[in-house]
Amino acid sequence: MNKTVSINLAGILFNIDEDAYQKLQNYFEAIKASLQNTQGASEIISDIEGRVAELFSERIKTSQQVISNKEVDEIVIIMGQPEDYKIDEEIFEEAPKNEKSDSQKRRLFRDRDNSYIGGVSSGFGYYFGIDPLIIRLIWVILIFGAGMGPLLYIILWILIPAANTTAEKLSMMGKPINITNIEKKVKEEFGNVKESLGRVKDSVNSGRLNDLGKNIQSTSRSFFETIGDLILLFFKLIFKAIGMFFIVFSIVILIGFFIGLLTVGIADAIHFPGMDFAELVNSSGLPIWLVSILALLIAGIPMVFILLLGLRMVSKRIPLFNKYTKFSLLGVWLIVLITLTIFSVKQAADYRLDASVTEQVELPITKMDTLYLEMKGNPLYSKFLHRNSNLEIIYDEQDTKRIYGSDIRLIVQSTKDSIGSISVEKKASGVDYLIAKDRAMALDYQYEFKNNTLYLDGFFLTDIEQKYRGQNIEVIIQLPIGSVLFPDENTYSYHRNYSIHNDILDNGNEDHYLKIEHKSMRCLDCPNLNKNN
Taking the alpha carbons at both ends of the chain, their separation in whole angstroms is 97
Q: What pLDDT is stored for residue 39 in this prediction?
A: 65
Neighbouring CB atoms inside 10 A of 236's CB total 12
Torsion of CA 9, 14, 17, 19, to 10 degrees: -20
What H or E segment, with its residue span, contains residue 225? helix 212-269
Q: What is the dihedral of CA 83, 89, 93, 96, to 10 degrees?
A: 0
Report which residue type is found at 277: F
Alpha-carbon distance of 335 to 122, in angstroms, equals 46
Query: What is the pTM for the complete model shown?
Result: 0.52
Q: Cα–Cα distance between 200 and 205 in angstroms, integer?
A: 9
- Sheet of 4-9: strands edge to edge? 4-9, 12-17, 66-67
Class of residue 341 by CB neighbours under 10 A (exposed 0-12, middle 13-18, buried 19+): exposed
DSSP state of 82: G
Residue 99 confidence (pLDDT): 44
Find out whether 14 and 56 touch, Cβ atoms under 8 Å: yes
SS (H, E, C) 227-279: HHHHHHHHHHHHHHHHHHHHHHHHHHHHHHHHHHHHHHHHHHHCCCCCCHHHH
Backbone angles phi, psi at 444, to 5 degrees: -100, 110
Q: Which of 370, 387, 390 is nearest to 490 (CA)?
A: 387
Q: What is the pLDDT at residue 178?
A: 64
Which among 405, 351, 352, 358 is positioned nearest to 377, based on CA atoms? 405
Asked whether the beta carbons of 20 and 68 are under 8 A apart, the reply is yes
How many Å apart are CA 466 and CA 520, to the nearest integer?
39
Hey, where are the domains in the chain? 1-94+176-207, 239-349, 353-523
**pLDDT, block means (10 residues), the chain with 533 residues:** 79 84 86 73 78 81 77 82 53 42 70 76 85 82 71 78 77 73 63 53 50 52 64 80 92 86 62 58 70 85 90 78 83 91 82 90 94 93 87 85 92 94 94 91 94 95 87 95 95 87 89 93 79 46
- Quick one: residue 282, left, alpha or beta (phi over 0 = left, psi -120 to 50 = alpha)? beta
DSSP string, 190-216: HHHHHHHHHHHHHHHHHT----HHHHH
Instruction: Please give the sequence-ordered ranges of beta strands (E in DSSP) within 96-232, or none if there are none.
Output: none
pLDDT for 530 equals 47
